[in-house]
Amino acid sequence: MLLHADLTASSMTKNLEFGRLVIWYAMLVVRSCLSPSTNALSTLSQCMSKRQAESLVETPSKKQKLDMAARRFFIGGNWKCNGTLASNAVLTNGLSKGSVPADVDVVVCPTFIHLAETQRALSSSRISVAAQSCSATKPGAFTGEIAASQLVDFGIEWVVLGHSERRAKFGESNDVVGTKVGIAQENGLKVIACIGETLAEREAGNLESVLTAQMNAIIANVKSWADVVIAYEPVWAIGTGVVASPQQAQDAHSFLRTLLATKVSANVAATTRIIYGGSVKPGNCKELAGNADIDGFLVGGASLKAPDFLAILQANGPSRSKL
């Protein structure tokens, strides 16, 4: 046996106990990967003290904390195909009266026909207005399309591209999303590029291959990484009420940051903001925001309620900005 002669019985007991905890936690992590609604840390905490459970979870390193501090928190509100002039007036009035932290970038994304009115309503606030998509074409004989250059002409700075609803319901492939990213940037738009796996893809063990394919199409078309935010949105968590556990979200974001380091550069990996989307609410945003590689949120349903969205804007807290 490869044991030091002076190893005491007490230290042996502690080592064995810690080993059992590590094995038990690993089993729970595997379980959490197979079941998106499972939070390994909370389950583990039921079987041991909170301090013991938290000691097994990786905390941000000094370098990670420095990188986090360098990346401004980013929060987007995707209103999707919701809103009327009357309901939007109520929403924007509530947002205008709320507090927006100075160290957070905030955008809201109304429908195309509500862009101008939303811009006017929020003109005196720190909230910018973004479009939910743009055409993969230039202006011309493309009935029903809205070109990137037209959005810029309209005073729009940001555009959401590759949302899972565009991919699944309107047939936008990885190549189409990549083309849109390139055209948007060529015309001066900043891009919120969305990626994410379905539940079937996750359960089949294809999470990384799906994200890699989606990212490859985006990477090939980016002109300026300073003007790109990556939004990781697991499809199974969008609008379902099921949110990825903080560890599941962190693991996916960490993988994406490593992917950027490998395929682009270490600097791009360290500085690009990667935000999370999928049933984000005031009750779960702070725990999610505490992870080293989560730089904000793309919020769906909760962005349609001014009090909820304003609460989420506070998720980064003073601790992150002062790391």
- Residues with a catalytic annotation lie at 163, 233
- State the Cα–Cα distance between residues 118 and 158, nearest whole angstrom: 14
Instruction: Look up residue 228 and give its DSSP letter.
Output: E
Residue 266 vs residues 69, 259, 263, 269, 288: alpha-carbon distances, Å: 16, 10, 9, 5, 24
176 C-beta neighbours (distance < 10 Å), count: 17
CA angle 256/245/54 to nearest 5° reads 100
CA-CA distance, 232 to 73, in Å (whole number)? 15
Sequence-distant (6+) residues with CB within 8 A of 240 are 278, 279
Q: Report the sign of the C-alpha dihedral through residues 211, 55, 71, 152, in that order.
A: positive
Alpha-carbon distance 231 to 228, whole Å?
10
Residue 231 contacts residue 191 (beta carbons within 8 Å)? no
C-alpha span between 83 and 11 (Å, rounded): 63
Where residue 317 falls (left for φ over 0; alpha for ψ -120 to 50; beta otherwise) is left
